[in-house]
Structure 1
Amino acid sequence: MLLQNYSQSLLEAGTDEAGRGCIAGPVTAAAVILPQDFLNEEINDSKKITSKIRYKLREIIEEKALTYKVTHLHEDTIEELNILHASIKAMTLSVEALDPKPEFLIIDGNRFTPIPSLPHQCIVKGDMKYLSLAAASILAKTYRDDYMDMIHEEFPMYNWKKNKGYPTKEHREAIAKYGPCKYHRMSFKLLPDQLKLEL
């Protein structure tokens, strides 16, 4: 089972993001504070569990969490800031919206911009080590998947219901055939070198 806390703080938040490696759709971050006595043996890095289990766990996390927040940052912000800084901003906005406020923050990854008066620790692959980071990864992933399912209805040719905006072969073939749409991240490499976009 994953560890409950990194620090000795009663109110320790964990934050993680989903969608950094996509070429369409938002980057989505979640922050969560779990009770100190929270235990769940199924919770793990969202990439290690099935979609069905993720959604089941999301209900448990939302019911048991002291507080949580999910933030989408969209293509215009990703283009303006770049994907790393947009990811950090989404995590920051989620953390700042928590009530009660955290006393300590752990972040999945190795980069973060400090929030004044909030001590923090970056933890590489932390969503495989700490419950709050795994919980944040599950919230970020499921809410982003919900968003991609919604915009799939507007542009079904890209099959975002299946690929969630990741650069799969099918997704890139659809971009080559139909061109990009408003949800694509235009500064990203939408097509491999052997396929050229007709703009």
Structure 2
Amino acid sequence: MNKDATLRFERSFAADGHRFVAGADEVGRGALAGPVSVGMVVVDTLGAKHLKGVRDSKLLAPVERELLVPRIRSWAAAWAVGHASAAEIDELGLTSALRLAGTRAWLQITAVARPDIVILDGNYNWLSPAQASLFDAVGADADSAGCDAPVRTRIKADLQCLSVAAASVLAKVERDALMAGLALEHPGYGWEVNKGYATEAHRTAILAQGACEFHRRSWRLAPVLPDGL
């Protein structure tokens, strides 16, 4: 039986004076089409109460995720979802595009509440601004407006930490809605079902009708055919 995420880890930072804790998670990393999206949810560790039913978005049915969205928004001290487009992924690479989407979410939440610390799902901090190269011109770092709070990575944070699980739900629902809308404009790829991910049917559709502007053209999109076909 799947258990709800809790605030136990978030509250562990209170001893160090960190009252406002943000959880962050991404969706769309492995898709062939559409944006990569980063959700952020800020909780006030002194006042936030448990929010029942919230767990990693992958463990919830679509209707369950959608019903949770207004509850999460009301519960959170601040929330946001940032996106980086397929074209930006092609131009910048996936890691930098993740940071760009995270920066867009960060700028939205800091207009409401500034986190003292951020919990990031996984074991790699792709959110903090990249260090400028010694060969870069002064001020050339485009990430300078990004997250300037300490970041703590945690494997399976989306399963354990309520703020991160809530962020994953918001990001998943918003990105899925974007892909369903794009499916109406670009029928044939099945985005209303596969949400841009690499299903066999999606790859076959790309082979049949070609890629469109919302595909990540720097990725291997179509299936590799056997020699002679």
Q: Are the structure 2 counterparts of residues 117 and 179 from structure 1 closer, same or farther at C-alpha, using a change threshold of 3 Å? A: closer
Equivalent residue for 2:153, pick from 114, 122, 129:
122
After superposition, the Cα gap between the structure-2 partners of 1:67 and 1:181, relative to the gap in structure 1 and judged at 3 Å, is same
1:64 matches 2:95: no
Q: Which amino acid aligns with 1:42?
A: G
- Higher-Rg structure is 2
- Say which of 19, 31, 47 aligns to 1:22: 31
8 Å Cα contact 2:183-2:189 kept in structure 1: yes
Write the letter of the residue equivalent to 1:12. V
- For the residue of structure 2 that corresponds to 1:158, the secondary structure is coil
Q: 1:7 aligns with which of 1, 13, 19?
A: 13
Cα 1:11–1:180, aligned 2, differ >3 Å: closer, same or farther?
Answer: same
CA distance in 2: counterparts of 1:128 and 1:195, whole angstroms: 40
1:15 and 1:95 in contact (8 A); partners too = no
3-state SS of paired residue (1:33): strand
Q: TM-score, normalised by structure 2?
A: 0.81
What SS does the corresponding residue of 1:153 show, helix, strand or coil? helix
Q: 1:24 to 1:195 in 2, by over 3 A?
A: farther
Residues 13 and 95 of structure 1 are in contact (CA less than 8 Å); yes or no, is this contact kept in structure 2?
no
* Runs of 4 or more consecutive aligned structure 1 residues displaced over 6 Å after TM superposition: none
Match of 2:106 among 86, 95, 99: 95
**CA distances 1:50-102 after superposition (whole Å, capped 9, x unpaired):** 00000011110012111111111101210111112211221232123212111
Structure 2 equivalent of residue 163 of structure 1: 194
Distance in 2 separating the partners of 1:169 and 1:116:
37
Q: Is the 8 A contact 1:18 1:141 kept in 2?
A: yes
TM-score where L is the length of structure 1: 0.92
* 1:180 corresponds to 2:189: no
Distance in 2, Cα, partners of 1:128 & 1:111: 17
Q: In 2, Cα distance between the equivalents of 1:195 and 1:136? A: 42
Q: Structure 1 vs Structure 2: percent identity of aligned residues?
A: 34
- Corresponding pairs, count: 196
For the residues of structure 1 that align with 2:218 and 2:77, how far apart are their CA atoms? 38
State the alpha-carbon separation in 1 of the partners of residues 115 and 27 from structure 2: 21
Unaligned runs of 5+ in 2: 129-145
> What is the SS of the residue equivalent to 1:97?
helix
Counterparts in 2 of 1:106 and 1:177: CA distance versus 1, 3 Å: same
- Greater alpha carbon shift after TM alignment, 164-173 vs 117-126: 117-126
Q: Secondary structure, in 3 states, of the residue corresponding to 1:157?
A: coil
Is 2:120–2:157's contact at 8 Å kept on the other side of the alignment? yes
Question: Matches of 1:23 and 1:2 in 2, distance apart?
Answer: 30
1:50 maps to 2:53 = no
